[in-house]
Copies of this chain bind each other. A is one copy, B any other.
Amino acid sequence: MKNYKIVVSYDGSKYNGWQKQGNTNNTMQERFENVLSRMCAHPVEIHASGRTDAGVHAIAQTANFKCDTKLSPCEIKAYLNKYLPEDILVKSCETADDRFHARLNAVSKTYEYLIAVDKPDVFVRKYVWVSENKPDVEIMRHAAKKLLGTHDFKGFSTGKTKKSTVRTINWIDISENDGIIAIKINGSGFLYNMVRIISGTLYDIGVGKLEETVIDKIFETKIRENAGQTLPPQGLKLVEVFY
C-alpha cells in the first residue's frame, strides 16, 4: 500500500468537525473515508494534522492515507473532487514516504481568527465573527506577547486530557483591514478550543473587559474560567500546516 499526502480546503459550516467520534455524524473524516474506500475497494483510514471543531474552516488542512490503487496522485485528486461535496476541495495529492503521518509529523500550524468590527463584506460574511464592540488592536498586540513561547495552555482549553497540555506559540500577528481584525497564530500544536479561547481572551482584553494580567493568572491557575470567551467557530480557519 502506498502512502498519500493531500492538502484540503473546506467550508466547515455544515459539518460536525473533521474527526469522527462516537455517535457524531457528518464529519469530514467520514466523507473522505467513504469516498476513498469506494475508490480503493478496501477500507481506508485518513489522518489529518489535527481535528478542526464543528463549524471551523480550513484553507489548507493536511492529511494522509494508505491505500492500494492504480490511480495516479493526479487521478486520485480528480476522483476525490468529483465525489466529495462542493464545500470540500482537494488542492493537491502526492505520494509520501511510508512513515509520513499528517498529525505526528506536523511541526507547526497556523490558524486565523477573523473578527468583523463593522457589518462585513457580503461575500465573506459567513467566515467572520461579527463583534458588537471594536477592540483596541494595539492593546491586543501588547497582550499577545505574553502568550509567546512555551507554556502550559491548560487554562486556554476546554475538555479534559491526561496528555501534556504544554504547547509552544511561535508567533501571533494581529492586523486590521477594512473593518476586519485578523488574529494569526502559529504554534507547535493547539488544544481543544485553544485558538478560539486565546482569540476571545485577546478580544476581551482589547475591549477592556479583562486586564492584560489575566494571561499570567491563567498560566498560573490553569483554570479555564479565568480566560475570556470562546469565540464562535465560523470565524476560525486552519491556514497551513508545516512539516
Contacts and interface: CB of A to CB of B under 8 A. Distances in A.
A183 to B, nearest CB: 18
A10 B122 contact: yes
Interface in A190-208: none
Nearest to A122: B11
Interface string A16-55: 0000000000000000000000000000000000000000
A121 B81 contact: no
B119 A86 contact: yes
Q: How large is the interface on A (under 10, 10 to 19, 20 to 34, 35 or more residues)?
A: 10 to 19
A11 B124 CA distance: 10
Given A86-B119, A86-B125, A123-B124, 20 more contacts: A9-B121, A9-B122, A9-B123, A10-B122, A11-B122, A11-B123, A11-B125, A57-B122, A57-B123, A81-B118, A81-B119, A86-B122, A87-B122, A87-B125, A88-B122, A89-B119, A89-B120, A89-B121, A89-B122, A123-B127
Specify how many copies of this chain sit in the oligomer.
2
A118 B89 CA distance: 10
Interface of A: 9-11, 57, 81, 86-89, 118-125, 127
Contacts of A122: 9-11, 57, 86-89
Nearest to A124: B123
